[in-house]
Structure 1
Amino acid sequence: MTRRVRMLAIVAALLVFGGIGGCTGEDAQMSDGSSLTEAQATARVEELVRQVVAGITPEPRLDLLPTSLAEHPCIPNEGSAPTGKIYVVRSYYLKGLPKDRLSEAGQKIRDNWERAGHKITMTHMFESGQPQLSGETSDGFGLSLDTATTMELLLSVVSPCMRPTTPSPSAAP
Structure 2
Amino acid sequence: MIGWLSGCAKESTMNDGPNISEAQALARVEELIRAALTGVTPTPGLDLDPTSLADHPCIPNEGNILTGDIYVIRVYYLTGIPKERLVQEVRKIQTNWEKAGHKITNTYAFDQGKPQLSGRTGDDFRLALDTVDRNSTLQILFSVGSPCFRPDKPSPSASP
TM-score using structure 2 length = 0.92
Which of 106, 110, 115 is residue 131 of structure 1 equivalent to? 115
CA distance in 1, matches of 2:65, 2:48: 32
The residue number in structure 2 matching 1:3 is none
- Structure with a larger share of its residues in helix: 2
Contact 1:64 1:90 in 2 (8 A): yes
Which residue of structure 2 lines up, in the alignment, with residue 145 of structure 1?
129
Please point out which of 22, 40, 50 is paired with 1:56.
Answer: 40
Q: Which moved more, 1:137-146 or 1:79-88?
A: 79-88
Match of 1:25 among 8, 11, 15: 15
Structure 1 unmatched runs, 5+? 1-9, 30-34
What fraction of aligned residue pairs are identical, expressed as a percent?
A: 55
Say if 2:25 is the partner of 1:41.
Answer: yes
Deviation string 1:146-168 (CA, Å, 9 cap, x unpaired) is 00123100100000001112211
More strand by share: 2
Q: Distance in 2 between matches of 1:172 and 1:19?
A: 19
Give the secondary structure class of the aligned counterpart of 1:63. Answer: strand
Change (3 A) 1:155 1:58: same
Q: Distance in 1 between matches of 2:41 and 2:61?
A: 41
Q: Give the aligned residue type for 2:151.
A: P
Q: Which runs of 5+ in 2 are unaligned?
A: none
Any runs of at least 4 consecutive aligned residues in structure 1 with deviations exceeding 6 A, and if so which? none
Residue pair 2:129, 2:141 contacting (<8 A) in 1 also: yes
Contact 1:101 1:129 in 2 (8 A): no
Equivalent residues in 2 for 1:102-117 (5 A)?
A: 102-117=86-101
- Is contact 2:25–2:72 with CA below 8 Å preserved after alignment? yes
Shift of 1:15: 4.3
1:25 Cα deviation (Å)? Answer: 2.5
2:4 aligns with: 13
- Relative distance call for 1:162 and 1:119 in structure 2 (3 A) is same
Q: Is 1:168 paired with 2:148?
A: no
Contact (CA 8 Å) 1:86, 1:161: kept in 2 or not?
yes
What CA distance in whole angstroms lies between the structure 1 residues aligned with 2:92 and 2:10?
23
Contact 1:64-1:91 within 8 A present in 2 as well: yes
Q: CA deviation at 1:11?
A: 2.2
Distance 1:118 1:69 in 2: 25
Q: Which residue of 2 aligns with 1:159?
A: 146
Aligned length: 157
The two structures, once aligned, show a CA RMSD in angstroms of: 1.5
Which residue of structure 2 lines up, in the alignment, with residue 5 of structure 1?
A: none
Q: Please say if residues 19 and 136 of structure 1, whose CA atoms lie closer than 8 Å, have aligned partners that are also in contact.
A: no
SS of the residue 2:95 aligns to:
helix
